[in-house]
Amino acid sequence: MIEKTKLWFGISFVIILLGIVFMFKSGLNYGIDFKGGTLVQINMKKDFNKADVENIINKYTKDYSTNTATDTKNEIQLEIRSNSLTDEQIPKMYKEIKEKYKLQDKDLVSQQRIGPSVGKELTRKAVIALIIANLAMLVYIGFRFEIKFGLSAILSLVHDVLVTISIYAIFQIPVNSTFIAAILTIVGYSINDTIVVFDRIRENSKKHRRMGEIELADISITQTMSRSINTVLTTLFTIVSVCVIVPSIRDFTVPLTVGIVCGAYSSIFIASPLWVILKKSKKKKALAK
C-alpha cells in the first residue's frame, strides 16, 4: 500500500486539479441558497408526470431544480427552485400547470424570494465550524496519540473536502445549504475511519518495536481493510437507497455519498502515507543534527 503512495497522491492530485480548472472556468453551480432566487411550492395532490411539469417550467426558466415531497395528508407537493424565475413569470407558469392538472388557486402554496445574504452567512458559519472542529480534533488526536497522527488526520480531512468540492465543480452539481451539512457530516465520518487505522498502527508499534514505519502502516491497513470496506459498503447501501427512493433530500445524500467514498479512500491511502512521511521527515532532521 505505502509503496504506491505516489499513485494514491497522484489520483487525488488529478481530481483536485481538474476541480480547480473547472472552478476557474465555470465556478461552482451555486443554488438559490447562495445566489438568491425564487422558491415556488405547489400542491399537486396526486401522482403526476414530472417530465410534463418540467416541460412547462422550462418555458420560463432554464436554471431550475425540482423536488417532490409527501405531506401529512399524503398529498404530493412540488418544489421549484430557480435563480432566474421572476415574479411576473410565476402566475403564467402556474396557470399552465393548474389547467393541466385541474388545480385551484390555493394549491399554489407559496412563492418567495431568497436573498444571497443567507448563503453568505451560512458559508461563514460553516467555515468557522470546520476550523473549530479541525483544531479540536488536532488537539484530541495529538493528546490521545501523537501530533503527527493529528496532522495526518487533518490533512486527509482537507483532502476529503477538496475532492468533494472538485467533484461538484467538474459535474456542475448544484450547491445548496444542505451541502454544508453534508460536508460537516463527512468530516465526522472520515475522522472516525482514520482513527481506526491509526489506533491499529499504535497497537502494532508497541508489539513490533523494531518494525519500520512503512511496514507498520502496511500491516495496520491490511488488518483494518475488511472492517473499513464493510462499514463503507453498508453505509453506502443505506444512503444510495435513500437517494433513489427519496429524491427530495438528494441535495444532502449526493455529497454524503461522494464524501463517504472519499473518506474511506483517504483513511487508507492518504492519512497513513502522510503519517509515514511525517515520521520519516522527523528522523531525517534528527540524523542531520
CATH of the domain at 103: 3.30.70
46 pLDDT tier (thresholds 50, 70, 90)? confident
pLDDT value of residue 9:
92
Q: Which three cell numbers stand for residue 60?
A: 420560463
Regarding whether 70 and 132 lie in a shared domain, the answer is no
Regarding whether 163 and 41 lie in a shared domain, the answer is no
**Residue at a domain's end among 93, 114, 135:** 114
Query: In terms of residue numbers, what domain contains 82?
Result: 37-114
Regarding whether 257 and 136 lie in a shared domain, the answer is yes
Query: Is the CB of residue 148 less than 8 Å from the CB of residue 278?
Result: yes
Regarding whether 195 and 62 lie in a shared domain, the answer is no
288 pLDDT tier (thresholds 50, 70, 90)? low
The stretch 198-210 carries a mean pLDDT of 86
pLDDT digits (tens, 9 = 90+) for 227-271: 888 888 998 898 888 888 876 677 788 888 888 888 889 988 999
Spatial CA neighbour of 184 closest among 164, 155, 211: 164
Please state the domain count of the chain.
Answer: 2
Regarding whether 175 and 91 lie in a shared domain, the answer is no
End-to-end CA distance of the chain: 31
Regarding whether 155 and 100 lie in a shared domain, the answer is no
Regarding whether 136 and 55 lie in a shared domain, the answer is no
> What CATH number does the domain containing 215 carry?
1.20.1640.10
pLDDT value of residue 183:
84
pLDDT value of residue 136:
84
pLDDT value of residue 190:
85
**Residue at a domain's end among 85, 114, 143:** 114
pLDDT value of residue 119:
62
Regarding whether 237 and 182 lie in a shared domain, the answer is yes
Rounded CA separation 131/62 (Å): 37
pLDDT digits (tens, 9 = 90+) for 92-150: 999 999 998 888 888 898 888 877 665 677 778 878 887 888 788 878 887 877 888 88
Regarding whether 278 and 166 lie in a shared domain, the answer is yes
Query: Is the CB of residue 48 less than 8 Å from the CB of residue 79?
Result: no
Per mean pLDDT, which of 111-125, 158-172, 182-196, 272-286 is the most reliable?
Answer: 158-172
Mean pLDDT rounded to a whole number for the chain:
84
Task: Determine how many CB atoms are found less than 10 A away from the CB of residue 88.
Answer: 8
pLDDT value of residue 192:
85
Regarding whether 283 and 173 lie in a shared domain, the answer is yes
Rounded CA separation 100/274 (Å): 59
pLDDT digits (tens, 9 = 90+) for 70-105: 766 777 888 888 888 888 899 999 999 999 888 888
Regarding whether 17 and 150 lie in a shared domain, the answer is yes
Regarding whether 45 and 152 lie in a shared domain, the answer is no
**Residue at a domain's end among 114, 143, 165:** 114
